[in-house]
Structure 1
């Protein structure tokens, strides 16, 4: 793999990730790692054509998760090169099919893009989890949910009226919790008494209008090698379910 790192961060985590990735997989196109100074810059991959770009904040690039984040993005690149439907299907097309003729809140539309990214992440992590221990990934998922649930209000005087995750949107937090459990169950990473389950169930209680269990099953049970039509139907169905508050499995093609 041709790998180049530009920016103010040591290249060692990316070189280590490359060496580990190449024990099982390879990439045909060169990889350019671009370190961004914005600490809020999320880690993401672009595919301009003749090479891949891994964009990552300097904060993330110097964190304990740097190697694992790079491995995850290399897996996305591998899925892209392999033409996997999860990485070739247009999210915009799927959302048009799912939501045509419907009025959807802007926040829910943004959340649908996040859900589509979760589905891509499932397939990327199907690769990364073959390459080594998953301890850091589980801790990362646990930390993310704990952060979303951190700012609890004072107990309300009316029983049952208190919210569990006031600072984060409770609906997408519940979906995110379903994704986290789906990933660990798909790969048998933790036991059922793991703290991640407690956090996920707390998020689910905060969003009673979200069928948390259904979203978990949808993510967990994604077919390993779906055809284009099968994947499109799954993406249309899950985004329509979230945006419209329904849980039917019928989807347009």
Structure 2
């Protein structure tokens, strides 16, 4: 695996991730790690004909999650090279099929992209969690959900009062919670009394119009190796389940 780190900053997390990753997988194209100055820059992978690029802030590269973040992005790169349906399916095409003739709020439309990204992450983390331990990822999912739940007015729990802050949208928070729990259960990361169950229950109660159990099942039971048609229909169905309504089949 050809790894090229660009920019000043820590290198050991990426070298460690590469060494661990190479025990199970390899990449045909070189990987350029681009260390960025913006501490709020999220970590993401970009794919080109001649290389992959892992974009990450120096702050994230110095964090305790740096190696796990690199492993996760390497896994996305593998899925891209495999031409896995989750990584080559156009989200725009799915939204057109699922939402044709419907009027959808802009926030819900952005949430549909997040649902598609969750499915990509499931397939990437099937690789990530096969090559590395999952406890740091589990702790990250738990803390992220706890922060989202804390980002709401206390009055929300009182009957008849609406959420006052838009910072943590309760509907997509519930979907995010379903994703977190589904990933943890899919890879046997948690026991029945883990705190994540309490957190996800709170998120589900906060968004009664979201089918939390349905989304958890969708994420957890994603077929390991779907064909393109099957995957497209899964994503169409998930989109319709979130925004409501039915429509013709994707094919």
Relative to the length of structure 1, the TM-score reads: 0.94
Say which SS state the counterpart of residue 149 (structure 1) adopts.
helix
- Cα distance, 1:209–1:32 mapped onto 2, change above 3 Å: same
**Once superposed, which parts of structure 1, at least 4 consecutive aligned residues long, lie more than 3 Å away?**
154-167, 248-251
Q: Does 1:109 align with 2:109?
A: yes
Provide the residue aligned with 1:6 in structure 2.
6
User: Residue 166 of structure 1: CA displacement?
Assistant: 6.4
Say which SS state the counterpart of residue 29 (structure 1) adopts.
coil
- Cα distance, 1:8–1:233 mapped onto 2, change above 3 Å: same
Provide the residue aligned with 2:42 in structure 1.
42
User: Residue 167 of structure 1: CA displacement?
Assistant: 3.4
State how far apart, in whole Å, the 2-side matches of 1:187 and 1:156 are: 33
Provide the residue aligned with 1:55 in structure 2.
55
State how far apart, in whole Å, the 2-side matches of 1:158 and 1:71 are: 42
Provide the residue aligned with 1:224 in structure 2.
224
Q: Could you tell which deviates more after superposition, 17-26 or 53-62?
A: 53-62
State how far apart, in whole Å, the 2-side matches of 1:153 and 1:125 are: 33
Count of equivalent residues: 251
State how far apart, in whole Å, the 2-side matches of 1:141 and 1:249 are: 34
Q: Larger helix proportion, structure 1 or 2?
A: 2
Relative to the length of structure 2, the TM-score reads: 0.94
State how far apart, in whole Å, the 2-side matches of 1:239 and 1:54 are: 28
Q: Deviations over 1:101-154 (max 9, x none)?
A: 111111111111111000000000000111122110000100110110113434
Q: Does 1:252 align with 2:233?
A: no
Contact 2:29 2:50 in 1 (8 A): yes
**Where do 5+ consecutive residues of structure 2 fail to align?**
none
State how far apart, in whole Å, the 1-side matches of 2:91 and 2:126 are: 20
Provide the residue aligned with 1:73 in structure 2.
73
State how far apart, in whole Å, the 2-side matches of 1:235 and 1:157 are: 32
Q: Could you tell which deviates more after superposition, 148-157 or 108-117?
A: 148-157
- Cα distance, 1:237–1:250 mapped onto 2, change above 3 Å: farther
State how far apart, in whole Å, the 2-side matches of 1:164 and 1:176 are: 20
